[in-house]
Structure 1
């Protein structure tokens, strides 16, 4: 029997692991199965009952996506230190999450909210504002799903597979098990994903450490390469003109991450505040794995790795292909593939929940049953996944990346209503809407003004508009070579207008909305009689309690009776 070549070994290992993951995804529908999975709370939030271990794997699978593990090392490969921005932004984001998301968990469990848009609608007494938040969430999430496909596509390219049918089969499997199992599917599969990622990190450390000299020549050669290029924005250390963009990009990315609907969906699946906080306190350790994987960018320079066909996203899989045994490379490829399936599934569920609860039920079928809601959400989750697949197959991949740049700016505009709304109801609903509109307008104008640079010196304009998210300050006459992240400027405009216009609208006699929440709702925890309890705990003791009817937050409590007009 002839020996298999490396690509065949890689494909066999990838297929076996992918097959195991598919079986687990379908089996998740029977994993501590509740009495009735035909409700949005069970299908879309896993019964709001995940314990410590499941929550950890779900949140890590949600935050650390395949595109992160593929694109960020590629950025390091191209420009060096500036590509490390995800490390500080993840350091920044977890304290923010620890403080904010426990309040979000409590108020959503008290009232039975499934989406952030439902919370905003109740908090500020405005159906229209809730709809805006839902639409922005869906728009921002769609290109994010498409980006996960780019990671799988790069792996298939390195394994010598064609572009079309393998990617279609992979996402067909994802779509079907998500349809069947809901959030339980990616929650169970994320355990395999994290195991494979940790294995990949160990491989990077061992492969480089076993080379003569270990890591020292890797950094030395990377520094020599960046010094020799005519570019001024690359280097082993951060160039001075890149510092402003680096800081604002890290800060803006941190803000955007916890506002994305898929992050909030993972949060709402936790069984109590303690579970959520423990995991948010531990998850920064996982950032170390991302930091190690980003070093592949430098290792690829040392090894002389070149992207296949000019596709920069193939740098990471190609480095493993050239430097690791075939079976090891196959496992790493599976880690990237599974790492795309988990967040893509959660993202599609989050987008589907937004459509179902905040558009379909609000405007088309107010009396929709729980079973009908779930069926609509399942159908929409299929639609958004296949829409993302068509974007990758029929359009240039750069199109999805450009859309994601816009998506980050879009989702940041929900911060005053969603995040600040967890602490105060002072904002006027019209001021919030005006701020969002102004932030979006400023963001789109600035993105339009950003050119895409290329060439050996990194300063040749290859596209005049929508070329990135770093807005050059020389656009307004500041000749410093520095740039700033568009999302931060757009959010600043949003916040300023929201704060300034709130008293203006009140003085004009325009009525506030009515707040349907109470102060105690934001600190309620498991065991509080106001907290909705599910009928099944997935990794704890089963709970057999009836689920109360959804709170009618359209007969709310006045926010400030003394200010009513």
Structure 2
């Protein structure tokens, strides 16, 4: 029998009231900082008018998702110290962002670009390469949206169990998610990135409150971290205390590959391009490592749970009912539900729940922009209003496609998100290197991109995971595929130069460097 939690009717009331406020902010976004939402840059980039702290909150909501506060603690709990890779990954990725996003922002403002693929198209004078970069971004983003739903399911499952609601957990989850996504789709259609920004500020406030209170109150309730560490079964102590030498390369490569991939995801680029100026984007990005502190504390929930026997028992008892992976995802919600007051649990659970909804909205906006600008418009030009209308509808389609995927293939979203990282990293030569040079040949870049994606996906299925065995240890497949991508691009470009090819770009270097 699953132990009784601290969840009660007060928890439910707090959850529903805060969710109603979240929905109100989403719809109110259409009236906030009014703009002509029939224009794609107004709907999808909030008119490029977000200041330092709004971009900081938006990017925090954008990048610190269910992966951060559900998947990482669950993986640390289940696998061990390898998943502390997220700590250096966060540190490195913002260095990459500082080197790339201000440049991309500048040229995008100068040339009116909405997406990274817009830039690639002009930089390398290639519609085909831009089409491929857009397709890679869309395919990689869908499992990331699915992962947000996995996090939302964890919050709902804990709430349902705590309230003792009779019936199928899966059915109740699915109905609740459909209702939540219908609300999300409605206000995203109405408000675009403005609604996502307001709800992102609200979501981040709840998550920060949850992290700060939990990391102080839970150790006090269980008599310190020492109590949690001393409660770890002896056969598992080693996986938490040290990183085995055979996993050092896996740890390093996973951190590096993930850092390269993060700001190639359409949602990260979309958030960056919404800034009002390059200077304010730099300041916002420089403040984002503060979120890394929160990530460290959230990861520690994978250890703290050992000091909460009832939470451990609940996960163990639920594993046969909802599956081992879904049960492990309850690490954070269960630890909170068995230690903190009922009213605060409501705040925490709604924070986790909308912590999946807000990034899902931003991700859907980003890939609908790509779909319209770089796929549909390459086939049939659209009017300005036609662009925004189609993007609004496609954002809803992409959300429900990801929702349907999770219902049809439960338990695989987190694994496929790592595959998404392998895929999206292959856009690095076209986007990141393109910001520094136009002297790469377009067909070579396309061949490299195809080789990288094909080898990455092939290795993923061959090894049944995200690591490839090498003489120096296990290496994240994203780096192996990217290395092949760069080799193909480099050799192809060298051959092109040898046969008389010379670069022709519609984007001059000064248009990338110009201050605004």
Does the alignment reach a TM-score above 0.5? yes
C-alpha distance in 1 between matches for 2:59 and 2:16: 25
**Alpha-carbon offset, residue 81 of structure 1:** 1.6
Paired residues of 2:439 and 2:503 also in contact (CA < 8 A): no
Deviations 1:508-534 (A, max 9, x none): 34x5563011122112233xxxxxxxx
What is residue 401 of structure 2 aligned with on the other side? 387
Q: How does 1:43-122 map to 2 (within 5 A)?
A: 43-122=43-122
C-alpha distance in 1 between matches for 2:153 and 2:379: 38
What is residue 455 of structure 1 aligned with on the other side? none
What is residue 166 of structure 2 aligned with on the other side? none
C-alpha distance in 1 between matches for 2:333 and 2:197: 25
**Alpha-carbon offset, residue 206 of structure 1:** 2.1
Deviations 1:321-379 (A, max 9, x none): 11111111111111111111111111000100001101111212x2x211110000001
Residue 338, structure 1, aligned to residue 348, structure 2? no
Paired residues of 1:120 and 1:417 also in contact (CA < 8 A): yes
Residue 418, structure 1, aligned to residue 435, structure 2? no
**Alpha-carbon offset, residue 86 of structure 1:** 1.0
Q: Which secondary structure does the structure 2 equivalent of 1:444 belong to?
A: helix
Residue 182, structure 1, aligned to residue 184, structure 2? no
**Alpha-carbon offset, residue 303 of structure 1:** 1.6
Q: How does 1:137-216 map to 2 (within 5 A)?
A: 137-160=137-160, 162-211=172-221, 213-216=223-226
Residue 327, structure 1, aligned to residue 327, structure 2? no
Bigger helix share: 2
Paired residues of 1:449 and 1:471 also in contact (CA < 8 A): no
What is residue 34 of structure 2 aligned with on the other side? 33
Paired residues of 1:67 and 1:340 also in contact (CA < 8 A): no
Paired residues of 1:67 and 1:150 also in contact (CA < 8 A): no
C-alpha distance in 1 between matches for 2:221 and 2:16: 30
Paired residues of 1:222 and 1:236 also in contact (CA < 8 A): no
Q: How does 1:221-260 map to 2 (within 5 A)?
A: 221-222=231-232, 224=234, 226-227=236-237, 234-260=239-265
C-alpha distance in 1 between matches for 2:476 and 2:330: 26
Q: Which secondary structure does the structure 1 equivalent of 2:221 belong to?
A: coil
Q: Which secondary structure does the structure 1 equivalent of 2:447 belong to?
A: helix
C-alpha distance in 2 between matches for 1:285 and 1:405: 24
Q: Which secondary structure does the structure 2 equivalent of 1:163 belong to?
A: helix
Paired residues of 1:209 and 1:215 also in contact (CA < 8 A): yes
Deviations 1:522-550 (A, max 9, x none): 12233xxxxxxxxxxxxxxxxxxxxxxxx
What is residue 318 of structure 1 aligned with on the other side? 334
What is residue 508 of structure 1 aligned with on the other side? 499
Deviations 1:212-233 (A, max 9, x none): 64222323334845237xxxxx
C-alpha distance in 1 between matches for 2:468 and 2:301: 28
Paired residues of 1:125 and 1:513 also in contact (CA < 8 A): no
What is residue 558 of structure 1 aligned with on the other side? none
**TM-score, normalization: structure 2?**
0.92
**Alpha-carbon offset, residue 94 of structure 1:** 0.8
Paired residues of 2:74 and 2:331 also in contact (CA < 8 A): yes
Residue 264, structure 1, aligned to residue 254, structure 2? no
Paired residues of 2:222 and 2:307 also in contact (CA < 8 A): no
Q: Which secondary structure does the structure 2 equivalent of 1:167 belong to?
A: helix
C-alpha distance in 2 between matches for 1:5 and 1:264: 41
Q: How does 1:395-406 map to 2 (within 5 A)?
A: 395-398=409-412, 400-406=413-419
C-alpha distance in 2 between matches for 1:217 and 1:299: 9
**TM-score, normalization: structure 1?**
0.84
Q: Which runs of 4+ in 1 moved over 4 A?
A: none
Residue 469, structure 1, aligned to residue 469, structure 2? no
Q: Which secondary structure does the structure 2 equivalent of 1:6 belong to?
A: coil
Residue 370, structure 1, aligned to residue 384, structure 2? yes
Paired residues of 1:429 and 1:512 also in contact (CA < 8 A): no
How many residue pairs match? The answer is 491
Q: Which secondary structure does the structure 2 equivalent of 1:31 belong to?
A: coil
Paired residues of 1:430 and 1:505 also in contact (CA < 8 A): no
Runs of at least 5 residues in structure 2 that lack an aligned partner in the other structure:
161-168
What is residue 287 of structure 1 aligned with on the other side? 292
Deviations 1:245-299 (A, max 9, x none): 0000000000000100110000000000111000111110111011111111101
Q: Which secondary structure does the structure 1 equivalent of 2:30 belong to?
A: helix
Larger Rg over CA atoms: 1
C-alpha distance in 2 between matches for 1:329 and 1:67: 20
Q: How large is the Cα RMSD of the aligned pairs?
A: 1.7
What is residue 541 of structure 1 aligned with on the other side? none
Residue 15, structure 1, aligned to residue 16, structure 2? yes
What is residue 485 of structure 1 aligned with on the other side? 476
